Structures are given as C-alpha cells and as structure tokens.
C-alpha cells in the first residue's frame, strides 16, 4: 500500500477505482431492493433513494473499507513477476488447477506480502459479514456462528480466486481501448464466476461449520445464503475488474507538475516509488528508445549529458535484468567455461530490486523433489526465464534500440565512452544468447518432445517457429528470438566496428568466455544465426 501513496498518479487512480467500487455496490443494492420489493421498480426515484438508507450505507462502507487491503493485495499481485495462468474460465478445483493454486497460496503465505494478504482476508470477512446481516432475511434459521463461517469461507474462496488468476503488470497489452469498453468486455463473465464461487463458498462454509461443531445450515437457508453470497461476490469481482482496468493503463512515471521526465523515470527505476512504478518506467523507457516525436527529444537529453548521469542509471537497470536472467540460466549449465561473476559493475540497487525472488515451480513440488538434480536445475532455469521474460524483452529492446539510435543522435559519444559502453552491452547480450542456446540444447537433450512430467507433448509454435516442447519452454524460445533480433539490429547498424568495441568491454560475461562471445559475434556477420 505504501507504494501506491508514494506517487500522485497512483493515488488518483486508486480514487478512481474506489468510485467504480462504490458504483458497483450501489447498483447491486438497487438490484437487491428491487428484487426484494418489486413495487420499487415502479418509482425510479424511490429505487434511487434506496441507496441512501442507513442500512445500505453500512454495507456500502464495509465494502469500501475492504478497498485499502484489497488495493495493496492487487498491487502485490501485479508485481509477482510470475507466469500468467493458462486457464481463465473459472476457479475449478480439479487436481492440476488445485495443485497450482496450493503452490501459489503457500508462496504468498511465505512471502513478504503475507501481512498484506492477511489484511485482504480479514477485510473481506468483515465485508461479507456486513453484507449477510443486511441482505439475509431475519426469518431464516441461521446462527451467528454459521454466518461467520460462511463469511470466512467466502473470503477464502475469493482470495484463492484472486491468487490463482493473478497476472503480471507487463503481461497486459500495451495498446488498450478506453476503460469503459474494457470493463464492459469483462462484465459478462462476472455473473457465472460469482455463481461458481458462491456455490464453492457455501460448500466450504458448511464443511467448516460442521468441523467447528456448529452444525449444517438448514435447507431453507441455502438458497438465500447462496444468493446473498453471489451478490457480495459480484461487488468484489466488479471492484477487481475496475482496479485491474484502471491500474493496468500505462501511467506516466512523474508526479503532476514535474518537468524533468527522465529524472522521474530514474527515480522509478531505482525502486523508490515501488515495484509497480518501476515496471511502468521500464515500459516507458522502451518507448523512449523506439518512438519518434517527444521520445526523440528525451533521447537527445540522454545523449546531451556527456557526464553519463542520464545514461548510466537507465542502461544499468536494463543490463541488471538481463544479467539476472543469464545467471539463472548459467546455474543450470555445466560450470566449465562459465565466466563467473556476472554483470560486473553494472548491477545497481535498482537491478537488484528487479532481480528479486522469481522462482515459481511449474510442476507439483513432490514431482520436483523426485527429479534428478540436472532436470531440477533445468526446471528452475526455464521457470526463471519464463517469469522474467516480459522485463527481459523490454530491456533487450531498450538497449538495442538506444544503441542504434546513438549512431546518428549521440553527438558526444556517450554510449561509446560512458559505462556501460556499447561493448559492454553487446558482450552482455551475446553472453546471454550463448547461455540461452546452451540451455535450449540441454533441455532438448533431456526432454526431447516431452514435458518435465514425462508426458508426450504435441508440436507447438506460431509463425515460423515450431518446437516439440511443453508450454514451459515457450518463453525460453521467445527470449532466444528477442536476443537474436536485437543483436542482428545492432550488428547491422554498426557492422565490423563492433569487434573493436567488444575488445574494449570491461564487464565480465555472465556465461562463457570472451573468445566464445567473439566467435558468436562472427556468426551474426556471416548470417549463420
């Protein structure tokens, strides 16, 4: 939550999400009152005035009070740096999905955001209790303890739903429609989701009530309880959609009134405004490297500072991300020929923050422990690449595009003279490509056409890239293609002069030797890659 209030733009976005949440709650209560008393529908003013009743406001305020812990939890979800779920049709407690859900829940409970998720759970329990007390008829035979266990179950099911369907902030498309159309597109799926989660919550709440010795809710209380749970979940789901739509729009990294956009970007990349703004700043930096118009003016500001104060923090952050991915892959490869270290002096505090714990297993932990050590290392390396792919892709594009732009825009030779220099960048990219190719060969030799669980996999791929591997290898192949494309872009622009720049490089390659990297560079000149 602290990362939200440290940026003015995020504060206003949070206020916008709160307005959407309040609007959703008001509409749900109007619908409930119309269903409860159909005569209200004959008087629109009476239906509108029903939201100003004291009892309605108690429930609306209880829903809005959950926004603070929910906002912190959603922010933690967007910064998880992990794979997006493969299934988004609904929470299904089948063995494969349940195993993935259990791993994510355990990971959240043992993470630094455990207190955030605890606040998320407690807030939604209170919200569900207030909603039940307001909407459930007083004549149904339901004790306070049974209502409490139903609220606990509803909060547990909804929290599991949010955790399982979490998506990284950079996994959302960069070009998006207006938020009204995005919300309208996702709203039809909320009703079946709410019904499914309400039924799951009722079954889990009944089980918890029986285990606690409070008995099973009566048959007559089942329908009103499930209906009330579905309405409550509808409010929560609409609030989740609103928060996701509002916060995944591409944000400016500077506060209102700031004139130095590059300085604001540097502050965000350093992690001083939270991981969320750090990711947004990385995306904005990739646009600065490629776009025209105002982006060319910002590039001119970077190249105009011959001291390198503008260039160094931006390039070091990108190189730190790539270095972390290369080291993750190198840990699974034979140590012979490893360059040791990794990244030299380019890994800064910001890159260390970006290289936080990112290992999320792709298969059940019991199966991981039963694997041979080499397959376990391969799985860890592939998972690290998959988790860091979005950031690695942006870092590669940024470094390559800025390097090519410096050929015509860098009047003072900042990229040539200030560390990290052009040779450092090319050495880092070539070393990472070498590690990627070695890992692809090693994974292919250990699991040719099969997943880590030993099951035969069909041929997969899009366009001209087809490979007989499991979904876990898709990001590895895509990362390999990004490296090749970026290096061809740089070698095509600088030509044979890159060999001289590579000799002057001062960083230590994270994988392989300098001679191996030089030989790999020759393959680009000959078109053998």
Can you tell me the distance from the alpha carbon of 434 to that of 239, in angstroms, rounded to the nearest whole number?
45
First-to-last alpha carbon distance for the chain, in angstroms, is: 46
Can you tell me the distance from the alpha carbon of 1 to that of 267, in angstroms, rounded to the nearest whole number?
18
pTM of the model: 0.74
Task: Provide Rg for the chain, Cα atoms.
Answer: 27
β-partners of residue 461 are 466
Confidence at residue 348, expressed as pLDDT on a 0 to 100 scale: 40
Q: What are phi and psi of 505, to 5 degrees?
A: -65, 140
What Cα–Cα distance (Å) separates residue 175 from each residue in 97, 182, 308, 387, 407? Answer: 30, 12, 32, 22, 29
Can you tell me the distance from the alpha carbon of 190 to that of 336, in angstroms, rounded to the nearest whole number?
54
Instruction: Name which of 105, 84, 87 is nearest 168 in CA terms.
Output: 84
Say if strands 460-462 and 465-467 run parallel, antiparallel, or are unpaired: antiparallel
Q: 71: which 2 tokens?
A: 């906002």
Confidence at residue 482, expressed as pLDDT on a 0 to 100 scale: 92
Could you say which residues of the chain have pLDDT below 70?
1-9, 29-30, 32-33, 36, 39-41, 43-44, 46-68, 80-113, 173-177, 250-258, 292-294, 335-374, 376, 445-472, 529
SS3 467: strand
Positive or negative torsion for Cα 475, 477, 481, 487? positive
Dihedral over alpha carbons 218, 224, 227, 233 (to 10 degrees): -80
Confidence at residue 347, expressed as pLDDT on a 0 to 100 scale: 41
Q: What are phi and psi of 50, to 5 degrees?
A: -65, -25
DSSP H helices in 94-218: 95-109, 114-135, 144-164, 179-186, 190-211
Confidence at residue 353, expressed as pLDDT on a 0 to 100 scale: 37
Q: 188: which 2 tokens?
A: 């039809």
């Amino acid at each position: 939550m602290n990362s939200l209030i440290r940026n003015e733009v995020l504060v206003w976005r949070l206020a916008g999400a709160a307005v959407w949440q309040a609007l959703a709650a008001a509409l749900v209560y109007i619908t409930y009152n119309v269903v409860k008393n159909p005569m209200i529908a004959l008087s629109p003013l009476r239906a509108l005035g029903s939201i100003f009743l004291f009892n309605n406001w108690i429930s609306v305020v209880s829903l809005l009070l959950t926004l603070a812990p929910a906002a912190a939890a959603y922010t933690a979800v967007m910064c998880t740096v992990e794979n997006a779920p493969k299934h988004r049709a609904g929470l299904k407690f089948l063995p494969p999905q349940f195993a993935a859900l259990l791993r994510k829940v355990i990971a959240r409970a043992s993470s630094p955001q455990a207190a955030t998720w605890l606040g998320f759970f407690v807030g939604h329990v209170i919200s569900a209790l207030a909603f039940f007390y307001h909407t459930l008829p007083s004549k149904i035979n339901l004790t306070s303890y049974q209502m409490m266990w139903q609220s606990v179950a509803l909060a547990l099911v909804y929290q599991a739903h949010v955790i399982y369907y979490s998506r990284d902030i950079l996994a959302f498309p960069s070009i998006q429609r207006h938020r009204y159309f995005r919300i309208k597109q996702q709203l039809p799926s909320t009703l079946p989701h709410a019904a499914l989660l309400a039924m799951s919550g009722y079954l889990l709440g009944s089980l918890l009530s029986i285990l606690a010795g409070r008995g099973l809710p009566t048959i007559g209380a089942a329908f009103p309880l499930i209906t009330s749970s579905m309405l409550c979940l509808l409010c929560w789901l609409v609030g989740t959609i609103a928060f996701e739509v509002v916060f995944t729009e591409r944000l400016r990294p500077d506060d209102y009134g700031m004139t130095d956009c590059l300085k604001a970007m540097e502050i965000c990349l350093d992690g001083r405004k939270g991981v969320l703004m750090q990711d947004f700043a990385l995306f904005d930096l990739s646009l600065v490297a490629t776009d025209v118009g105002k982006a060319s003016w910002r590039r001119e500001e970077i190249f105009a500072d011959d001291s390198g104060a503008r260039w160094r923090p931006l390039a070091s952050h990108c190189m730190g991300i790539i270095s972390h991915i290369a080291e993750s892959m190198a840990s699974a490869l034979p140590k012979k020929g490893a360059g040791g270290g990794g990244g030299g002096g380019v890994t800064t505090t910001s890159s260390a923050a970006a290289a936080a714990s990112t290992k999320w297993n792709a298969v059940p932990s019991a199966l991981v422990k039963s694997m041979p050590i080499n397959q376990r290392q391969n799985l860890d390396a592939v998972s690290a690449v998959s988790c860091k792919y979005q950031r690695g892709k942006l870092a590669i594009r940024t470094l390559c595009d800025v390097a090519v732009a410096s050929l015509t825009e860098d009047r003072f030779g900042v990229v040539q003279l200030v560390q990290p220099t052009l040779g450092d960048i090319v050495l880092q990219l070539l070393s990472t490509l070498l590690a990627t190719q070695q890992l692809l060969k090693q994974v292919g030799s250990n699991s040719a056409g099969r997943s880590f669980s030993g099951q035969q996999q069909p041929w997969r791929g899009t366009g001209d890239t087809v490979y007989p591997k499991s979904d876990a290898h898709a990001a590895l192949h895509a990362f390999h293609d990004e490296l090749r494309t970026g290096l061809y872009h740089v070698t095509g622009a600088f030509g044979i002069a890159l060999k001289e720049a590579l000799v002057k490089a001062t960083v230590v390659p994270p994988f392989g030797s300098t001679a191996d990297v030089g030989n790999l560079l020759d393959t680009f000149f000959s078109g053998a890659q």
